[in-house]
Structure 1
Amino acid sequence: MNTKAINQGLVITAIAALFSVNAVAKNVSTSQVELVGEIKGTQITGVTVSDNGRVFVNAPNWRDGVRFSVANITSNGEFIAYPNEQVNACVAQSEVRKDCFLAVQSVVAHKDKLYVLDTRNPKFQGVVDAPRLFVIDLESNKIDETLILSDDAYHPDSYINDLRVDEKTNRIFMTDSGHAGLVVYNLDDNTSYRILDNHETTKAEVDSLSVKGKPFSNVVHSDGIALDKLNDTLYFHALSGYSLYAINTSDIKKASNDTLSKAVRKVTKTGAPDGMVYHQGNVYLANLETQEVQYLTPSLDLRTLVKGEAVNWADTFSIHNNTLYYTNSKIQDAGSDVSNMTFEVYKTIISSH
């Protein structure tokens, strides 16, 4: 399928002061979105774009018969299992093998590597072995190494959700949406640990959401994560909640909740988001309930970038060349059978924001 620009008749309205004074949506602008690729019958959640513009997505293990865990979207819109069919062979039947993707929730390209986050928790039935990161060399298209979380870095009901790579401290920061908390992986010595475990800043704030009037009653804890590399700040947010939190990366260490909570600050109120990404002073995030792609400015103004038919549970964000990519995972509509559903990846230019 050729990539095509489409104008979805996006209607953007300023959001009234639903939350805090600092989070008023204003100065919204209409953005044209372009379809990168769409796939029928395979629900995709994560998206990432490499430095040279290669687009990758992942499909979670939420039901039987998933076609792939990770795929590369080609220039003509095809979804090709990545890095090969063999590494993706386990997801369809939840076969547990060390050399095979089992239950991937997100993918993040960083420099010449692709980090594939495998929850090892197929169908939310519990972690069958340790959650891990498969690190793929984007030049050779082969798995370089596997980073396995230590026993004290996860719980049996953990669902390690998303990640950010911090070059300055040589660590990887992750969220756990199944058992509230953040996870830190130290690349210097290959150790890992949890912080803010079951803490109010990482726990869900509400029991349900209303996605354009449709109830969503699954409780999802810490999910979205964004890294401001210039100011060394990590942002995080529960999906079932409205509070955006931040902590300086220099304050992240293996310590008690009482100690670490003193370093955490509440930034502002937002809509309930899924994924997040930081870019040039703005935190980009979705408002799942109103089906919008928004961004929070340095002055804490919450503005709308895209709203309309092209936004349907905007799940994950990636930015490349001042262009924001996002997936529509349509979680509120996806049941046990998605064979007749279509899931998309869109992109929109943000250079003017």
Structure 2
Amino acid sequence: MTIFRSLRGGLLLESSRTVAACALLGLLAAPLAAHAADSVEQSFVPSGNVHVLARFHDAQPSGIVHLVDGRFVLSFPTSAQTHPGPVLAVWKGGSELQPFPDAAAQKELKSPLGMTVDALGRVWVIDEGVVAGQTEPQTPAIILIDPRTNSIIRRFALTSPVVLPDSHINDIRVDLTHGKNGTAFISDTSQTTHPALIVLDIASGQARRILAEDQSVSAAAGHVMEVDGKLFRYNPDHPQMPQGGVNGIGLSVDSSRLFWSPFSSRRLYSAPTAVLSDPVISESGLSQAVRDEGEVGVVDGIFTASDGSLYMADEERHGVIRRSPDGTLSLVAHDPRLISPDSLASGEASNQPVNSLIMTVGQWARLPVFHDGHDMQQRPYLIVRIDLKNR
């Protein structure tokens, strides 16, 4: 050990211990005192514009839409875990819910997931057609609801060969400018390795599967993602995190272009809706029409603002990305409470400038299926508001 000596050269054993202890304390105290002033990587600091609006202890919200009349509707899927209460509901603030379109309709719904509102104000809902523990084949469908009468007005069943046994029907956008009564675009993320887009002609009710397993809808080989501070690699044989192909989809303001992103990827793609909705165009022609819009992030929900910006829930950054019409990217929110940012809706009335976003926050990566049967979720589940002013 180091020997401390007096000025006279004598050994001062006890003094040396005291001095050594003081020196050690000084070494330990200095970094602690200076820690508050240390510079840190800014993404670890919450952006400060995320505000919790609601907490749900029993059911995990996923889809969200803002109706023309001002109401917000939430979906509470049951394909991964069942729960009490409505599966589709008007959110009245806090944790107060009202069954939508009404209480009786809940019996007609199994697992509502992705939703959208079309240009006529109607609500389109993905129903996965399966509940947790179900052994019968799934029966996915698209549900059309008129919010003015609070009633289901049409149901479009999705059957083979449009959907496969391993399909995972996820999200939907509706273009009323192509086809006699419009066209719906649906993402099939796939539970394994067979993702695709599904195109539904609204007038005839006929659906077809396009871009099946195309690179633009598929998981990126070797994709690695951060989940709860850990890294996991895409593995279709033994998933350890939510993964798969095309998930979030978005429509341009004028409905001329569809945007989408595979979940196990960081890229955004798009194609003209005129091409995607045309049943005559070959698969090779469809693939050639797809444009790689570049890297964005690990995207879930996509919301299109009235100025043409795309707001995308970014799972890995635990935040929201804005892609401006010229392709510029910015991170408009990030917060450790955004465990699995999911679906987005405008906080403002229809066709108004977007000054805030309302977003559901999931904990899908903590489900038992990814943790050898252990439930790692930490209730409650959240709905948040993200303020966009000066962002």
Q: Does 1:272 align with 2:290?
A: no
Question: What is aligned with 2:285?
Answer: 259
Cα separation, partners in 2 of 1:296 and 1:59, compared to 1, 3 Å = same
Question: What is aligned with 2:310?
Answer: 283
- The answer as to whether partners of 1:42 and 1:339 remain within 8 angstroms in 2 is no
Q: Does 1:202 align with 2:217?
A: yes
Q: Which amino acid aligns with 2:210?
A: I
Cα separation, partners in 2 of 1:234 and 1:351, compared to 1, 3 Å = farther
Cα deviation, residue 327, structure 1: 0.6
Which blocks of at least 5 consecutive residues in structure 1 are unaligned?
A: 1-10, 16-28, 90-99
Cα deviation, residue 340, structure 1: 5.5
For 1:83, which of 101, 120, 131 is the aligned residue? 101
Matches within 5 A, 1:1-353: 13=42, 30=47, 32-67=49-84, 68-89=86-107, 100-110=108-118, 111-123=120-132, 128-169=137-178, 170-178=182-190, 179-205=194-220, 206=222, 208-214=224-230, 215=232, 216-230=240-254, 232-252=256-276, 253-254=278-279, 255-279=281-305, 280-321=307-348, 322=354, 323-335=356-368, 337=375, 341-350=379-388
Alignment coverage as a number of residue pairs: 321
**In 2, Cα distance between equivalents of 1:339 and 1:84:** 30
**In 2, Cα distance between equivalents of 1:116 and 1:230:** 21
What CA deviation, in whole Å up to 9, does each residue of 1:184-204 have, x standing for no partner? 111122211111011111011
Cα deviation, residue 133, structure 1: 1.3
Cα separation, partners in 2 of 1:315 and 1:301, compared to 1, 3 Å = same
Cα deviation, residue 208, structure 1: 4.7
**In 2, Cα distance between equivalents of 1:127 and 1:54:** 35
Cα separation, partners in 2 of 1:351 and 1:184, compared to 1, 3 Å = farther
Residue 57 of structure 1 aligns to a residue in which SS? strand
Question: What is aligned with 1:95?
Answer: none
**In 2, Cα distance between equivalents of 1:40 and 1:237:** 30
- The answer as to whether partners of 2:261 and 2:267 remain within 8 angstroms in 1 is yes
Cα separation, partners in 2 of 1:132 and 1:308, compared to 1, 3 Å = same
- The answer as to whether partners of 1:133 and 1:147 remain within 8 angstroms in 2 is yes
Cα deviation, residue 334, structure 1: 3.4
**In 1, Cα distance between equivalents of 2:226 and 2:205:** 41
Residue 262 of structure 1 aligns to a residue in which SS? helix
Q: Which amino acid aligns with 2:199?
A: V
What CA deviation, in whole Å up to 9, does each residue of 1:265-316 have, x standing for no partner? 1001011111112222221112211211111123322211111134221111
- The answer as to whether partners of 1:284 and 1:295 remain within 8 angstroms in 2 is yes
**Structure 2 length normalisation: TM-score?**
0.74
- Tell me which moved more, 45-54 or 237-246: 45-54
- The answer as to whether partners of 1:12 and 1:30 remain within 8 angstroms in 2 is no
**In 1, Cα distance between equivalents of 2:206 and 2:135:** 22
**Structure 1 length normalisation: TM-score?**
0.82
**In 2, Cα distance between equivalents of 1:227 and 1:32:** 26
Cα separation, partners in 2 of 1:188 and 1:31, compared to 1, 3 Å = farther
- The answer as to whether partners of 1:271 and 1:287 remain within 8 angstroms in 2 is yes
Cα separation, partners in 2 of 1:36 and 1:107, compared to 1, 3 Å = farther
**In 1, Cα distance between equivalents of 2:150 and 2:323:** 36
- The answer as to whether partners of 2:319 and 2:332 remain within 8 angstroms in 1 is yes
Cα separation, partners in 2 of 1:103 and 1:338, compared to 1, 3 Å = farther
Higher strand residue share: 1
- The answer as to whether partners of 1:120 and 1:132 remain within 8 angstroms in 2 is yes
Higher helix residue share: 2
- The answer as to whether partners of 1:150 and 1:193 remain within 8 angstroms in 2 is no
> Percent same amino acid at aligned positions?
21
What CA deviation, in whole Å up to 9, does each residue of 1:104-149 have, x standing for no partner? 2222233432212112143497882542111121122111111222
**In 1, Cα distance between equivalents of 2:149 and 2:270:** 36
Q: Which amino acid aligns with 2:314?
A: N
**In 2, Cα distance between equivalents of 1:104 and 1:114:** 12
What CA deviation, in whole Å up to 9, does each residue of 1:80-102 have, x standing for no partner? 3322333324xxxxxxxxxx111
